[in-house]
Copies of this chain bind each other. A is one copy, B any other.
Amino acid sequence: MSTNRKPTITGTEIIAHTRLFKVEQVGLRFSNGCEVSYERLRSSPNGAVLVVPLLDDATVLLIREYAAGIERYELALPKGRIEDGESILAAANREIMEEVGYGARQLTHVKSVSLAPGYFSHVTHIVLARDLYPERRAGDEPEAIEVVPWPLKRLAELCVHEECTEARSIAALFMVREQLMGEHG
């Protein structure tokens, strides 16, 4: 890899702020002298979790939930924001209790991913949840979430499913399948 030095941030300014979103204008000076002004979204510094809950080594629990951004139901992994003072693994366990009705005795961090790193500070921590036990906690969902058990060996089929489009979920499922294949030789 070559030698671009990180640009210098010459200034930042919040130019819009709503309940959920904060838009910041950032001035950058690149090491070649080029100066630019970009807009970027600042999200909660806590980040989010996306959980891969394995009912057994062959079956993942997906959820089917209305997605207001794309105005249809989406089939994806359970996820949610990390609350203040909450650890990544505790957030993951809470989210699956709220969204799929299970807790996990074994929680491991798989990878932290970005969404659109050019203009979005958001980080999502992918967590593998195993050794599940039934435990339901009330969430803040406006309607009951459908839980959809999905065989990991049918991952290719999920990738062409029109309701399964979320890049984080697809990436997480492939990475976990890779990990499980490693465990089983």
Cβ of A9 to closest chain B Cβ, rounded Å: 7
Once bound together, how far apart are the Cα atoms of A166 and B21, in whole Å?
20
Q: How many residues of A contact B (CB 8 A)?
A: 70
A23 CB contact (under 8 Å) in B21, B28, B146: B21
Count of this chain's copies in the oligomeric assembly: 2
Interface residues of A in 146-185 (CB under 8 A from B): 146, 148, 156, 159-160, 165-168, 170-172, 174-175, 178
Cβ of A77 to closest chain B Cβ, rounded Å: 11
Tell me the A residues contacting B by CB distance below 8 Å: 1-2, 4, 6-7, 9, 15-21, 23, 25-26, 28, 30-32, 34, 36, 38-41, 64-74, 76, 111-124, 142-144, 146, 148, 156, 159-160, 165-168, 170-172, 174-175, 178
Cross-chain contact A69 with B148 (CB below 8 angstroms): no
Known: A40-B69, A114-B165, A167-B114. A142 touches B64 (CB 8 A): no
